[in-house]
Amino acid sequence: GAQPVPPSLITHWKEYFPNHKYDTNYGLSESTGPGCVHLGMENIHKVGAIGVPGYRWKCRIVDENGVEVPQGDVGELCVKGPGVMTCYYNDPEATAKALKDGWLYTGDMAMQDEDGFIFLVDRKKDVIVSGGENIYPVQIENFLSAYDKVKDVAVIGLPDKRLGEITGAIIEVKDGMECTEEEIEDYCKELPRYKRDVFTVGLNYLPLRDLVIKFDYSYRRIGGNKYNSEDTFGLTVAYSGWFGSK
């Protein structure tokens, strides 16, 4: 729940449980829970997709101006159907941002393939803007999760004076394995250049979720939705014991 299931995990699960059926539902509290987008057990070949619009639901993928993007392009997922909320209680400003002409703007970035199946890309607020390019952490997390030595991974944006932000990965290595930064960098050569050239890596052998909780706490303590460039040095020092930095 709360984030897309990595395709590598689904594939791994199917290897262990070949006779079990896989399905997925997408929804949010504002749409009265899951069901507005549904994959269906007959569509397991679309590994990684959240599915197609559910019964009596409609979906659109739009740009910053609310205009539908071409099929295959990334935009914000909007849904419309019988379960959409009426409003946020006593919060007309938030309601106006989320509801427009009956459409619920989910805050999830998505794309639709040639067969009409919708794939989540990332949360809108988590997009990393590096040198004018939009980088979606979940896409890189899915890519790194497929590496056989990676147990878990979290991709975050770090401040950079020249590019605005650079991409950082905190990686939990599988038990009993050793992994070097050079290995990860070599594996990442398959990524598009703009996602790869600014890549920094942190490797750890501790439970990743503990690190992410600690990191998120300090992230909020430093302040704001984005780091300031002045925070870079303090951030590196504060976390030098948890993950490496270049």
pLDDT for 45 equals: 85
What is the token pair recorded at 14?
A: 């199917």
DSSP SS3 for 35:
strand
What pLDDT, in 10s, does the model give residues 182-199? 888 888 888 887 776 545
In 90-176, DSSP assigns E strands to 99-100, 103-112, 118-123, 128-130, 133-135, 150-160, 164-173
Is 179:187 a contact under the CB 8 Å cutoff? no
Does residue 77 surpass a pLDDT of 80? yes
pTM for this model (two decimals): 0.65
State the Cα–Cα distance between residues 56 and 80, nearest whole angstrom. Answer: 9
CB within 8 A of 36, min separation 6: which ones? 26, 27, 53, 54, 57, 59, 79, 81, 83
pLDDT range class, residue 17, cuts 50, 70, 90 = very high
Query: What residues are paired with 193 via a beta bridge?
Result: none
Q: By three-state DSSP, how is residue 150 classified?
A: strand
